[in-house]
């Protein structure tokens, strides 16, 4: 059966997710020394309906280093930008490539791509989720603390695609996540309940100081995600007080780390001193996109 990576749940249980992190660690440790080319002969389309730096770079390098050939298709540079339906684009892609990664708007567009192809499709961010990034965040966290067990995760800011994927991750791992989102920008109740039903401890706060108290991993993301640009001014107002800064970080465990998927807006969701400070692991986190992308590609092709 063709494997698709819509969300973290597609990897199975906690063991499935951890095996991606194990492979990502192997890829990191052996980088440049691996002569295997497991994706030799495979053409992989990297399709972007939204901008990207890290995801495009990491996937392009990952496919190349695994021996495959990446083909990048952007909205602006293709007929997708002129309104060609996903169903048509998908059927053309499906005839020429062996796998597809897709960054798009609503998750239903990812589903539509999947419906029209019989090659693996991987979610490279939608409005609802960013599971590739979560794999990188978890790899970074596990490499730092040596474990994912017993950690308190905190999310400060928008209840967006990244927050949703954190909820999914703690559900699978039965972890602890405290979130502080402004009124009107909270995570969806059904996702909170789903994570709790899996055994996660999810605590919702309004006050970022409360969410950060004793946390081992503090994460945030932009106030305005791609596609929400018309809401920028209103969001800036609504998110006042939701900056991950030194005062918030002081509430956390003294050994806490700070993550941000990037791109960051210094002075908005995160302060300069925190993102550039000693507890920030954002560059390791960005690098982890490469190693985890390799692991996810191998999984999608049934090689893991």
Q: Which entry of ligand NVA, ligand CP, none binds 161, CB below 5 to 8 A by partner kind? A: ligand NVA
Q: How many residues line the site for ligand NVA (CB under 6 A)? A: 9
Mark whether 207 is an active-site residue. no
Token output for 230: 């018309």
Beta strands (DSSP E) in 85-200 are 99-103, 121-123, 152-156, 176-180
Beta strands (DSSP E) in 13-109 are 43-48, 69-74, 99-103
**Sequence-distant (≥ 6) Cβ neighbours of residue 242 within 8 angstroms:** 156, 157, 180, 181, 182, 208, 220, 223, 269
User: Does residue 222 touch ligand NVA according to CB under 6 A?
Assistant: yes
User: Does residue 161 touch ligand CP according to CB under 6 A?
Assistant: no
Q: Of 123, 128, 139, 160, which one interacts with ligand NVA (CB under 6 A)? A: 160
User: Does residue 261 touch ligand CP according to CB under 6 A?
Assistant: yes
For residue 141, how many other CB atoms are within 10 A of its CB? 25
Q: How many residues line the site for ligand CP (CB under 6 A)? A: 9
Give the rounded distance of the alpha carbon of 127 from its chain centre. 11
Return the residue nearest ligand CP (CB atom).
55
Residue 34 Rama label (left phi>0; alpha psi -120 to 50; beta): beta
User: Does residue 261 touch ligand NVA according to CB under 6 A?
Assistant: yes
What Cα–Cα distance (Å) separates residue 164 from each residue in 8, 28, 99, 134? 11, 27, 25, 10
In the bound state with ligand CP, the residue whose beta carbon lies nearer, of 86 and 132, is 132
Q: Which entry of ligand NVA, ligand CP, none binds 162, CB below 5 to 8 A by partner kind? A: ligand NVA
User: Does residue 226 touch ligand NVA according to CB under 6 A?
Assistant: yes
- Euclidean distance between CA atoms 280 and 273, whole angstroms: 9
Q: Which of 4, 54, 56, 103 is catalytic?
A: 103
Q: What is the 3-state secondary structure (H, E, C) of 235-256?
A: HHHHCCCCCECHHHHCCCCCCC
Q: What is the CA radius of gyration of the chain?
A: 19
- Euclidean distance between CA atoms 2 and 155, whole angstroms: 34
**Smallest distance from the beta carbon of 13 to ligand CP, in angstroms?**
25
Q: Which entry of ligand CP, ligand NVA, none binds 53, CB below 5 to 8 A by partner kind? A: ligand CP
Each residue 96-135 as x (binds ligand CP by CB under 6 A) or -, in order, gives: -----------------------------x-------x--
User: Does residue 161 touch ligand NVA according to CB under 6 A?
Assistant: yes
Mark whether 130 is an active-site residue. yes
109, 86 in Cβ contact below 8 A? yes
Judged by the rule CB under 6 A, the positions of this chain that interact with ligand CP are: 52-55, 125, 133, 261-263
* Residues belonging to the active site: 103, 130, 133, 221, 261, 289
Residue numbers of the site for ligand NVA (CB under 6 A)? 125, 160-162, 221-222, 225-226, 261
């Amino acid at each position: 059966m063709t494997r698709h990576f819509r969300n973290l749940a597609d990897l199975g249980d906690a063991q499935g997710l951890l095996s991606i992190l194990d492979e990502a660690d192997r890829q990191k440790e052996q980088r440049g020394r691996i002569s295997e080319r497991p994706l030799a002969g495979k053409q992989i389309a990297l399709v972007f309906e939204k901008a990207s730096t890290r995801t495009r770079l990491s996937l392009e390098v990952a496919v190349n280093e695994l021996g495959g050939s990446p083909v990048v298709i952007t909205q602006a540079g293709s007929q997708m930008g002129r309104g060609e339906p996903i169903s048509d684009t998908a059927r053309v892609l499906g005839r020429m490539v062996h796998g597809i990664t897709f960054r798009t708007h609503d998750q239903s567009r990812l589903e539509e791509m999947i419906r029209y192809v019989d090659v693996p499709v991987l979610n490279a961010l939608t409005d609802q989720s960013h599971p590739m990034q979560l794999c990188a965040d978890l790899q970074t966290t596990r490499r730092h603390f040596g474990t994912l067990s017993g950690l308190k995760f905190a999310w400060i800011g928008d209840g967006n695609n990244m927050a949703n994927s954190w909820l999914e991750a703690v559900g699978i791992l039965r972890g602890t996540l405290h979130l502080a989102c402004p009124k009107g920008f909270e995570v969806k109740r059904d996702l909170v309940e789903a994570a709790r039903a899996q055994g996660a401890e999810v605590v919702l706060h309004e006050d970022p100081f409360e969410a950060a108290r004793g946390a081992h991993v503090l994460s945030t993301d932009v106030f305005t995600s791609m596609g929400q640009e018309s809401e920028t001014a209103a969001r800036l107002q609504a998110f006042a007080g939701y900056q991950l800064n030194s005062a918030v970080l002081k509430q956390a465990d003294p050994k806490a780390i700070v993550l941000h998927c990037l791109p960051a807006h210094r002075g908005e969701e995160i302060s300069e001193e925190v993102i550039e400070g000693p507890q920030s692991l954002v560059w390791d986190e960005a690098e982890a996109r490469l190693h985890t992308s390799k692991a996810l590609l191998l999984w999608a092709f049934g090689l893991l």
